[in-house]
Each structure stands twice: as structure tokens, then as C-alpha cells.
Structure 1
Amino acid sequence: MTQRQERLFVLEASGGGRLFCVHPDGSGKTVLVTGCRVPDGVAVDVAAGHVYWTNMGVPGENDGSIERVDLDGGNRTTIVPSGVTHTPKQLHFEAVGRKLYWGDREGMRVMRCELDGSNVETLVQTGQGADDRQDERRWCVGVAVDPAGGHLYWSQKGPSDAGEGKILRAGIDLPEGQSAAERSDIEVLFEGLPEPIDLELDHAQRLLYWTDRGDPPRGNTVNRAPMHPRNAVRSPEILLTHLMEGIGITLDPDGGRMYVTDLGGSIYTAGLDGSDRKEILVAQGNLTGIAHAVLVTGKGV
């Protein structure tokens, strides 16, 4: 008889770089991996028994990478080696097409690959070269994929607290005959945001969620909005406030909960509408990515 065993997989960028897991109430913390090079985005493929994460490396250098381990932390493997991606940020596992997607901040692009790290592609390119790299409005950070709608979503955060952040959308695949730098199908969904970071989708309710690191009142928040906003309805709904540099977000639609991390070292949980907010862990270092997973009894941790 199988049981629903939930885990949160969380990245800590401080303390030498760690991947750990906890129960949804914050108990049972288990460190799975240490020595990660500034880890940022994490994703779980329960069916294959793998946890993936991005390493930013040194942001000013082109030395980012993506690694993978089993659910119990064993068999650590680098699948995208250092230098193939510049500064990889949020990571998304797309289960239908079985690919990994990520935002590459200083690389100024959105990328994807096969689950073994092969066939690395650039889907969006917002700039080229050192001069463009200085323009933080070009930096791609968060990423999410909607296979049913055929769309790729990403955030361009803009300078810190500048109110120049954007969330954009395009087709999952490049239009025929077009390049990542010159796509005709890019749509700006939201602009003038404080500093949007990680994205998540509630596919059933067709809602887009994201964290924002910018200044209050609209920054250091969790927000949501329709995935297909009408022109007249482009004001995001603020669900959580007073985060300490909010970064990671993951949804459990079946359980009706969200989980959020911040650089202040806290993990928060709340209802999908922002109600019943709780801190389940505090003072855990500089927390970045987080992923919720439902494991099969007897597998993994």
C-alpha cells in the first residue's frame, strides 16, 4: 500500500552550498549534498528518482553548471558542465516533454536541455556581450512552462529595487526560421515590477505566481495573476508581504498550499490565496530554490 509522502527540497547558497530536504511542516531536515557552487534553482523528477539544481558559480564569470542526484543524495552527477551556461538561476522540470528549462541571468537568455544534459538550446536571447550584460533589465531569472497552452514564461528582473522588472511569455519552441535573439512571438505580460524573481504556474486554475525582491509595498512579496491577463486586468494580486529578499516558490495545488524561501533563511507556507501564513523554518542560511514533491513509499528519503 502506497502512502503520500511529501518533501520539500531546498537550496542554501551560504554555508558552502547545500541541498537539503524537510517535511512540509519543517521537521526531519536532512542534508543531501554539500559543496554546491552557489546553488539557486531546484527541480524534482519523482518518476526517475532525481533532483536537479543549478550552480550560479561566480556570477561575473561564465562558469555556471547543472547537477543531479538521486532522491537520497547519491550518485551526484554534473549534467551541464561549467561554462555551457553563464549564471543559471531558476530551474524547471517540464514533465510532459521531459526537459529542463532555466533562466541564465548574466547569459541574458532562457535555455533548456534533455534530462541527461544533452541538446542544450537557447530559446530566448535578450542581449550579447559585456556591454549588454551590464544592463540588468536583460537578465533572465525565473522560468515556467505551460505545455497545454504552449507557452514559456520568464522574468527579467531589472536593477535592484528599480521598478523595471518584467514577466514575459513566448511559445515553447522557436518560431520556424527565427532566432532566439529575434523572436516575433514575445509578449510582455507585466512590466514596471519591483524585481520579479522565481515563477510558478497553477495549471488547473490558470494562475501565475511569482516572488519579488524589490522594495515594499509591492516588493518582497508573493504575487499572482491570471496566466492570460486581459489588457484591463494587469494589476497583480499581492498574497504575502514582508519577506526578507524573497526567492524560491513552489506550489502544492492538491494540498492547497504554497512554500516560499527568502535570503533571510526562512521557509514560509500559506494557502494558495496567501491565507494561513506560517514560518516552518527560520535562520537556515541564505535560502534560494525550493521544490515540493510527493514521493512513493519506499523510494528516496
Structure 2
Amino acid sequence: MPQHQERLFVLEASSGGRLFSVNPDGSDKKVLVTGCRIPDGVAVDAAAGHVYWTNMGVPPENDGSIERVDLDGGNRTTIVPSGVTHTPKQLHFEAAGRKLYWGDREGMRVMRCDLDGSHVETLVQAGQGADDRRDETRWCVGVAVDPVGGHLYWSQKGPSDAGLGKILRAGIDLPAGQSAAERGDIEVLFEGLPEPIDLELDPLQQMLYWTDRGDPPRGNTVNRAPLHPPDGPRTPEILLTHLMEGIGLTLDPDDDRMYVTDLAGNVYAAGLDGSDRREILVLQGNLTGIARAMLPTGTRV
């Protein structure tokens, strides 16, 4: 008998804002939470039995938040209250350090906190104040963490379809004596991207994956590139195309699978190389974040 069951946790930003879970084939949909304030990023701590998500709130209002529930939707709790983060986007659970990381779009920063919402830190500050906020190249959206390599990755998407998006990297922790606004260890890995959104790492293969909402042919895609190419520059490879505003991305490296969401309400499954693409859910509302988790058999969801 299998010792674990696999579930996908998906956010839907329309219809009042919902968190739901499904099997990897799209069956057995269960709505866990409603009434989320434009939810965007989701992460699962399967061992502790918690699902976390970000609420963008009203983007101009600096009223974003982060919430948590049990795997079955019980015990809903706000851990980062409204106003501590401006417009939180993709959320990443880093299991080794027991931290949550997220991109704060209009806040123009990358942040983290402990799993109870304490010790909120700003790790990257790409701009300050209303004038900088109007410059969308400063908006931080996607985030991923490589605790073994010691790196933090994030995307700065730029204006819609402008071809000014970037993916950057720095150390997980602030260098001694430096500030989030003046870090000397930031590297630009990719620039001139249409509109990069969510990031995911395959640490074993040392491969970075991301969604892009920009115009075709390079936009509305899923892409990947090696973190340490053996011979020359990192060259992105387009894996999936013709998404309808692609947003969320989660990987299953053990079974060579990825799952992707778009704002048209579709969830796609495909191989990590983009092969065998299929829709497992369609027309589910405006879908944003997605996370995969392996849960002990018998877990209530």
C-alpha cells in the first residue's frame, strides 16, 4: 500500500479568492478556503501539516498579508498581518532553514520570515518610495531558494510585455555590513525577458525553471536554463508555449513532471522537458499559485 498521497494545492484569485486541492490528475477537487484577498503564492509544509499563501490585497494600498491553514482547511490563521508586506507574490517554503520567502511586488523587495510570521526580514530592496514604485522593472515577483548552494533567486518582471524582465541571484543572507538596498553580491542571470513570473529550482539537476507572461513567441511560456552551464552562457530553453497568462509552477523531479497554472483557469501537467503536455483542469477561474506536496496516506485534505 502506498505510504504517501500526492496532492496539488492551487489558488484562484477570482470568485472571492479560493484555495483548493486536487489529485495530480485533476480529480477529487476540494475547496479548503474562501474569501482570500487576491491570493497569489502558495507553499506547503507537509511534515507540519500546513498550507501557506500570500494575499496581494489591493495593490496600491500596501495591505498584503500571509495566511496559514491546516491541510484540510482548518485553523485559518494570519501570520503576517496586513501592511507588513505590500503586495506579496510567489511564496517559497524552505524546509532546511524553516523559513518562508516571498517576492513583494509593489514593495520592490524580497522578504522572509519564520513559519509563525515572526522575524520578518527584507533581503533585497530594489527601490524606495512612490517614484521608484512606478518603475515596474523594480517589481519583485518570483522567488526560489537553494540552501545547499547558498543562493536566493528572484524575478523582476518589468512592465507588461516590455522585454525588460530579469532573473537575479544573491546569497541567502545579507553580506556582513551591507543593507538590502545596497548588496554587493547581486548577479543578473537573465535580462531582456518578456515578463518572468514564478521560479522553481530542480536542485539535483541544478536547473532553474520559470513562467513568463509576456507576448509570444518567448512569452506565455515555461522556460528552463542550467545554473552552471559547462561551456559558455546560460541559454534559456522554452518548454511550453501558448499559455494564457502563465503564472504558477511546481516541479516533481522524482517523477519527471511539472504542473503549471494560467489566468485562464487551466492547470497543465507535462514532463520536465515539456513533453506529454495535457490539461488536467480547465476554466477554473483566474488561477495563480500552485504547490505540490507528498502527504502521509490517510491525511485529511
Please classify the TM superposition score into its range, dividing by the shorter chain length. Answer: over 0.9
Paired position in structure 2 for 1:125: 125
Paired position in structure 2 for 1:116: 116
Q: Using the alignment, how far apart are the partners of 2:213 and 2:160 within structure 1?
A: 8
Deviations 1:116-175 (A, max 9, x none): 000000000000000000000000000000000000000000000000000000000000
Q: Using the alignment, how far apart are the partners of 2:194 and 2:232 within structure 1?
A: 20
Paired position in structure 2 for 1:60: 60
Secondary structure in structure 2 of the residue aligned to 1:254: helix
Q: Give the count of matched residue pairs.
A: 301
For the 8 Å contact 1:3–1:297, the answer to whether it is kept is: yes
Q: Using the alignment, how far apart are the partners of 2:245 and 2:131 within structure 1?
A: 27
> In the superposition, relative to structure 1, how do residues 229 and 60 fare at CA in structure 2: closer, same or farther (>3 Å)?
farther
For the 8 Å contact 2:71–2:300, the answer to whether it is kept is: yes
Deviations 1:26-50 (A, max 9, x none): 0000000000000000000000000
Deviations 1:172-211 (A, max 9, x none): 0000000000000000000000000000000110000000
Amino acid at match of 1:242: H
Which residues in structure 2 correspond to 1:191-210 (within 5 Å)?
191-210=191-210
Paired position in structure 2 for 1:237: 237
For the 8 Å contact 2:228–2:234, the answer to whether it is kept is: no
Deviations 1:215-268 (A, max 9, x none): 000000000001234783232000000000000000011111000000010000
Unaligned 5+ segments in structure 1 are: none
Secondary structure in structure 1 of the residue aligned to 2:270: strand
- Once the two structures are overlaid, the 10-residue window that deviates more, 55-64 or 291-300, is 291-300
- Give me the CA root mean square deviation: 1.0
Paired position in structure 2 for 1:188: 188
Q: Using the alignment, how far apart are the partners of 1:137 and 1:232 within structure 2?
A: 27
Q: Using the alignment, how far apart are the partners of 2:2 and 2:85 within structure 1?
A: 39
For the 8 Å contact 1:189–1:229, the answer to whether it is kept is: no
Secondary structure in structure 2 of the residue aligned to 1:60: helix
Amino acid at match of 1:22: V
Q: Which consecutive segments of 4 or more residues in structure 1 shift more than 2 A?
A: 1-4, 228-235
Paired position in structure 2 for 1:219: 219
Unaligned 5+ segments in structure 2 are: none
